[in-house]
Amino acid sequence: MSFNIRSNILSSSLEYYLTHYYEALTELQQLSNPMVGYFTNKIPVELLDAMKLHPVRIFAFKHPQAQQGAYERYIQTFACSWLRGILDNGLVNGYKDLEGIIFSTGTCDSLQNVSDVWQKVFAAQLTYNLTFPIKSNKAAGTYLENEFKQIVSFAQKHLKGSSDFKLTESIRKYNLKRKILQKVANLVSKGQLLYVTFAQLLYFSDLLPVDKFTQIFKDFPPTNNDDSISVTNQDEIPRLLVSGGMWDNWELFDIPEWNGLVADDLSFGHRNFNYTLAETDSMKSYVESQLKRTSEPTAYDEKNQRLESLGEQIKEHDVNGVVLLTMKFCDPDAFELVPIRKYLESHDISYLNLETSPDISNVGQLRTRLAAFSELLL
């Protein structure tokens, strides 16, 4: 049971840091390299790290002083609920601890427009718009290589980015981080760690400098772990997989109805650690590896990667049912829902669609629906 106890301690520690996310940013600002904020997983974190910058994900975790609805002075209520939360938080202090912010534009309409609004509201803050191509062919590669070169030039000029550039080393560090997360994901799949703790770890991994994260968690999980240990009775609950796009609130998973959650298909979950990049100093090779990553809901899925990856996950984790988590007013999520449903139906896999927003104001309803879904699967 020692591993279980450690898991609980881990969960408490992670929760502490995440609930004090904004204070943690202030602390990190003094301790780490200059921080650069980002929103989506379409971001070359390795490049930023190579310039001795610390890429930090901007979460929708509610700032204690945030005034809900403050965003309405700038954007409408039908903007994606995740971005509305982020704008509300930003209006408290404008993420002053960050050296600058990189927007992944060309992803979805809400983010595209919010990036415009952001640059007006926080005019003093340094921002950069990075646009990944929709395609993944040679022309797209050449374009992206130039985008990356531009961002390097911008970061070195304006964001205190170092010109002592060691890309291979940074890719190696991030590959290690992803490997660690893959190992922890296996624990979740085996029922040895609750998904909520894993979700906390995922968020934490996007907050901490990569060196620190890999240093702390390099031996995690312990190799002598007893496979028979389980945090839940796996025979009595169905095995669930949660699929969706962006999701920024671990509290959603902190309810017993999710105890059977063994895997995810989320932007900052599986799709953010399910790949290994070629360890190279060549920008061209780096770009090629980036373009091979699993498609996001926001993108045009040229090769049906998303559905294929979902299918593989379902098989690998022996999943009984899929929960489709969609965020209110997220167009990409809403569009993806239809082909995913068709796919699941054609493969005779049960699913449940839960629509909510990062403030999970409808948590009671979600619990009831989840419980009913799990009962049906048994």
Partner 1 sequence: MTSVEKQRVYRRLNSTQSVKNSQAMYYFQSKNPYLHDEGKKIAWITSGGPVEFLVAMDILPLYPEQYGAIAGSAKDSTRLSQVAESHGYSQDICAYARTSFGSILSPDSPTPLSEIDGIGGLATPDMLICGNNICGTVLKWYQDLARIYKIPLFIFDTPPLIDDNIPSYYIEYLTTQMNEYISFLEQQMNKKMDMGVLTEVFQNSKNSIELWTKILDLGQAIPAPLNCADRFLLMAPVVSQRGTTETVSLYEEVYQEVQTRVDDEEGAITVPERFRLLWDNIPIWFNLYDFYNTLAQKGVVFPVDTYTNAWSQNFQESGDLLKDAAVMYSNIYLNKTLQHKIDLISTLAKKYKCDGILYHSMRSCKRYSLGQPITRVEVTEKTNIPGTLIEGDMNDSRAYSEGQVMTRIDALLELIETQRN
Q: Where on the chain is the footprint of partner 1 (CB under 8 A)?
A: 72-76, 78-79, 105-110, 112-114, 116-117, 120-121, 129, 131, 133-135, 137, 139-140, 142-143, 146-147, 150, 298-301, 326, 328-329, 331-332, 334-339, 341
Which residue, 84 or 239, is less far from partner 1 as judged by CB? 84
Closest distance between partner 1 and the C-beta of residue 211, in Å? Answer: 33
How far is Cα 52 from Cα 283, in angstroms, rounded to an integer? 17
Closest distance between partner 1 and the C-beta of residue 335, in Å? Answer: 4
Which residue, 16 or 335, is less far from partner 1 as judged by CB? 335
Task: Provide the 10 A C-beta neighbour count for residue 181.
Answer: 21
Which residue, 8 or 146, is less far from partner 1 as judged by CB? 146
Closest distance between partner 1 and the C-beta of residue 113, in Å? Answer: 4
Distances (CA, A) of 162 to 36, 48, 53, 168, 197: 13, 9, 8, 15, 35
Q: Which two tokens stand for residue 359?
A: 């403030």
Torsion of CA 253, 254, 256, 259, to 10 degrees: 50
Task: Provide the 10 A C-beta neighbour count for residue 145.
Answer: 17
Which residue, 60 or 171, is less far from partner 1 as judged by CB? 60
How far is Cα 61 from Cα 328, in angstroms, rounded to an integer? 16
Closest distance between partner 1 and the C-beta of residue 135, in Å? Answer: 6
DSSP helix/strand/coil, 66:
coil
Which residue, 133 or 238, is less far from partner 1 as judged by CB? 133
Closest CA to 246 of 21, 23, 42, 19: 42
Q: Which two tokens stand for residue 155?
A: 């970061």
How far is Cα 258 from Cα 374, in angstroms, rounded to an integer? 9
Strand partners, 264: 242
As a 3-state breakdown, the chain gives helix, strand, coil percent values, each rounded to 5, of 50, 10, 40
Residue type, 57: R
Which residue, 139 or 216, is less far from partner 1 as judged by CB? 139
Which residue, 72 or 312, is less far from partner 1 as judged by CB? 72
How far is Cα 170 from Cα 167, in angstroms, rounded to an integer? 5
Task: Compute the C-alpha angle 265/88/356, nearest 5°.
Answer: 35
Which residue, 105 or 259, is less far from partner 1 as judged by CB? 105
Strand partners, 104: 130
Closest distance between partner 1 and the C-beta of residue 192, in Å? Answer: 36
Please, are residues 187 and 221 in contact by the beta-carbon 8 Å criterion?
Answer: yes
Which residue, 73 or 315, is less far from partner 1 as judged by CB? 73
